[in-house]
Chains A and B, each alone.
Chain A
Amino acid sequence: MTSTTRPHLFITFQMPSQFIHSLERVFDLDYQDIPARLSHEQILSRIRAHTPDAILFSGGTKIDKEIISAAGDKLKMLATFSVGYNHIDIKECEKRGIPIGYTPGVLTDTTADLAITLLLATSRRITEAMRTVRNGEWGTSSNIMWMCGKPLINSTIGIVGLGRIGLAIARRLQPFSIQRILYSGTREKHFDSDSDKKLFKFVQFEELLHESDFVIIACALNEETTNMFNKKAFEQMKNDAILINISRGGIVDQDALYDALKNGQIRAAGLDVTVPEPLPTDHPLLTLENCTIFPHIGSADEYARHQMAQICVDNLLNFFSGKPMVHQLKIDNA
């Protein structure tokens, strides 16, 4: 009697049990319900021990040639718990015919919310402000300049990459009495309303750097955008500009950023993403008052995360029952 072999799914991170139950009905799971992160080596040994048909992993896990080769021909599909895919060797997947499911759309709102949080926290110097409450500095100065921030009113916003997230950020900034929104990227967007036509302006990257009071990085990390924010870029920015990165750390040359912040070439930076993640606790950027760093919490709310998890589950269940994924990465565009 032949037994039906269920596909084998390796899950590298911890998920709420309802999603595990959904997957258990179809897959044999290689899953440990503990929050500890798996290292590259641990992932390789688990794959070698029990070759998966599919792997479900998060944005923090590198799926490189070594891992893909270790999985060999048995690996049929990859499911990433992220909208970014810079951590995946796309070319290798294409060569081996491995399709990739991902989770666009459902984290747009929450990531845009976090971008605004980071922008406001940085421009209003929240870290410094909170500290003065704890260390007794509050109340010792009557200088009217004390703890003044950089206002949004009448400012020029520059958004690098006006995709879903970039546009959601732009919409959230509109009521703050900003003057205009410049954006750069691969192509100009078409706006229908007259007020949008007046508000948004498509410009070259250099002009955006030159003119913006707040620069927000919202583009994908790829070969063109790696280290795009280098020494030359910081030289072109305004001295009182604030830089916000909610995209990928690799878009910013961190040494150049450190120098720019230290030397007053730009006013301040707020980062939700770094290289590496986590950032080492002795990293020079952590010594700067004018650098605010969050631990990659862009999509960190239960609602968004549950929706992302559901898409991952549906991507996997659909693929293994011969149906189209909910969201499959189109490799030609990637």
Chain B
Amino acid sequence: MTSIIRPRLLINNQIPSQFIRALEPVFDLDYQDIATPVSQEQILSRIRAQPPDAMLLFGKILIDKELLSIAGDKLKMVATTSVGYDHIDVKECQNRGISIGYAPGVIADVVADLAVTLLLVTSKRINEAMRAVRNGEWGTSSDIGWMCGKPLANSTIGIVGLGHIGLAIARRLQPFSIQRILYCGKHEKQFDSENDKKLFQFVQFEELLRLSDFVIIACALNDETRNMFNRKAFEQMKNDAILVNIARGGIIDQDALYDALKNGQIQAAGLDVTVPEPLPTDHPLLTLDNCIIVPHIGGGDLSVRYQMIQISVDNLLNFFSGKPMVHQVNLDNA
């Protein structure tokens, strides 16, 4: 009697049991129901021990050449629960015929909310403000300039990458009496309304840097955008500009950013993403009052997290029953 060999699925993170129940009928699971993160080394050992047919991925595990060699021919599909896939060697997957599922379309609103949060808390210096409440500095000055922040009214916003997230950020900033929104990227967008045509302007990266009061990074990390915010970029920015990054840490050269902030080349920066993550607690950026760092909480909404896991589960179930994924990374474009 032949037994049906079920595909093996490696899950690298704890997930709510409803998803385990959805996957168990189809897959043999390599799953650990614990709340501590798994390291790259631990994943490699698990793959060596029991090569998977598929992986359900959370967080920072790199799907690089090393992992893919160890996984060998058995690995057919990788489902990442994120919208970004810069942690996956897409070319190598393409060479090996490995399909990639991802989870776009759900996270834009909550990330845009966090982008605006970061922009506001950075420009209003709330780290310094809250410290003044705790350390007794509040009340010692009658200067009307005390704890003044950078206003949004009449400002020029510069959005690097006007995709779903970039556009959601733009919409949230519109009621703040801003003057205009510059954006750069691969192509100009088509806007229908007269209001939008007046508000949005497609420019080259250098012009955006030169003219923007607030620069928001909302593009993907890839070979073109890696370290795009380098010394030269900071030189071109306004001295009182505020930089916000909710995309990927690798888009910024962090040493150059440190210098730019220290030397007043830009006013302040708010980062949701860094290199590495987590950032070491003794990192120089953490010594700067004009640098606010939050721990990659752009997607920090439980309902959104559930939706992205559901998409990934559906991607897996579909693929292994011969159906198209809900969202598959197009390897030719990636």
Contact = CB atoms under 8 A, between A and B. Distances in A.
Contact of A149 (B36, B116, B279, B301): B301
A176 B127 CA distance: 24
A143 interface: yes
A116 interface: yes
Question: Chain A CB within 10 Å — which of B38, B113, B133, B294 has the most?
Answer: B133
Interface string B290-321: 00111111001111110001000000000000
Given A36-B142, A295-B133, A175 B301 contact: no
Interface string A11-44: 0111110000000000000000001111000000
B144 A15 contact: yes
Interface residues of A, number: 71
Question: Chain B CB within 10 Å — which of A124, A132, A172, A294 has the most?
Answer: A124
Contacts of B265: none
B326 to A, nearest CB: 19
Given A172-B176, A278-B139, A302-B151, A142 B295 contact: no
Interface stretch (B13-21, B71-79, B215-223): B13-21
B31 interface: no
A309 B300 CA distance: 41
Contacts of B124: 113-114, 117, 297, 300-301
A121 B126 contact: yes
Given A134-B286, A171-B175, A176-B113, A300 B301 contact: no
Contacts of A12: 142
Contacts of B50: none
Contacts of B179: none
A14 B142 contact: yes
Given A120-B117, A294-B129, A144 B295 contact: no
Given A113-B152, A126-B121, A277-B139, A133 B146 contact: no
Question: Chain B CB within 10 Å — which of A135, A138, A286 has the most?
Answer: A138
A132 B296 CA distance: 11
A304 B124 CA distance: 13
A81 to B, nearest CB: 7
A125 B211 CA distance: 32
A186 interface: no
Contacts of B303: 151
B121 A117 contact: yes
Interface in A280-314: 281, 286, 292-297, 300-305, 308-309
Interface in A182-229: none
A49 interface: no
Interface in A306-325: 308-309
Given A126-B126, A141-B37, A151-B301, A133 B286 contact: yes
A148 interface: yes
Contact of A151 (B38, B110, B141, B292): B110
A124 B113 contact: yes
Given A138-B278, A309-B144, 11 more contacts: A35-B146, A110-B151, A113-B124, A124-B300, A126-B117, A130-B292, A139-B278, A144-B16, A148-B300, A301-B124, A302-B148
25 contacts: A16-B145, A35-B140, A35-B141, A35-B143, A58-B144, A120-B113, A120-B117, A124-B117, A124-B300, A133-B295, A134-B281, A136-B278, A139-B278, A139-B295, A142-B36, A142-B37, A152-B113, A172-B176, A175-B171, A175-B172, A277-B138, A293-B133, A294-B129, A303-B154, A308-B144
Interface of A: 12-16, 35-38, 58, 60, 81, 109-110, 113-114, 116-117, 120-121, 124-127, 129-130, 132-136, 138-149, 151-153, 171-172, 174-177, 277-279, 281, 286, 292-297, 300-305, 308-309
Interface of B: 13-16, 35-38, 58-59, 109-110, 113-114, 116-117, 120-121, 124, 126-127, 129-130, 132-136, 138-154, 171-172, 174-177, 277-279, 281, 286, 292-297, 300-305, 309
> Sorted from nearest, which 10 A-B pairs have the closest CB atoms?
A278-B139, A139-B278, A295-B138, A138-B295, A120-B117, A117-B120, A138-B278, A13-B142, A278-B138, A301-B151
